[in-house]
């Protein structure tokens, strides 16, 4: 993070690792803006990749020469948000899976018990 070139290299690596064409194009445009002499915050602000808080934190980090720390903070914030979204998604899916498992168990019980009940009716 000490130099712009390292940041651009990191963006190039990120661009090459993504499978999302839109993100790849946007990162390419950010790299192009940085090569044209724009600031990091300005290059990111011109693209629709990040929310307002992230962009403002980038501006503050660049203006105060604490961009490394701001990026670490953003990483922690994004990790927490991702964890929260994953937990919410799991909480959303749990009732569905309970119903599916209950349906499978019901089917198994009926598959086993139906012949037994039919045998009981033959005995009478």
CATH of the domain at 63: 1.20.81
Judge whether 100 lies within some domain.
no
Q: Are 51 and 33 in contact (CB under 8 A)?
A: no
Check residue 3 and give its pLDDT: 52
Q: pTM of the predicted model, to two decimals?
A: 0.67
Judge whether 104 lies within some domain.
no
Judge whether 25 lies within some domain.
yes
| Domain of residue 35, residue span | 4-93
Per-residue pLDDT of the chain (124 residues; tens, 9 = 90+): 455 558 888 899 989 999 999 999 999 999 999 999 999 999 999 888 889 999 999 999 999 999 889 999 999 999 999 999 999 999 999 999 999 999 999 999 999 998 888 887 777 6
Judge whether 114 lies within some domain.
no
Judge whether 38 lies within some domain.
yes
Judge whether 107 lies within some domain.
no
Judge whether 120 lies within some domain.
no
Judge whether 118 lies within some domain.
no
- CA 122 → CA 16, 19, 100, distances in Å? 71, 63, 33
Q: In the block, which residue shows the tokens 């130099």?
A: 3
Q: Per the structure, how many domains does the chain have?
A: 1
């Amino acid at each position: 993070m000490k130099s712009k070139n390292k940041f651009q290299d990191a963006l190039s690596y990120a661009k090459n690792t993504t499978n999302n064409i839109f993100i790849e194009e946007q990162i390419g445009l950010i790299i192009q803006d940085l090569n044209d002499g724009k600031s990091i915050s300005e290059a990111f602000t011109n693209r629709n990749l990040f929310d307002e808080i992230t962009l403002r934190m980038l501006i503050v980090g660049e203006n105060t020469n604490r961009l490394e720390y701001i990026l670490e903070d953003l990483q922690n914030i994004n990790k927490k948000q991702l964890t929260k979204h994953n937990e919410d998604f799991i909480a959303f899916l749990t009732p569905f899976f309970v119903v599916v498992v209950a349906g499978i168990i019901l089917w198994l019980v009926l598959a086993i018990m139906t012949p037994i009940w039919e045998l009981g009716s033959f005995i009478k």
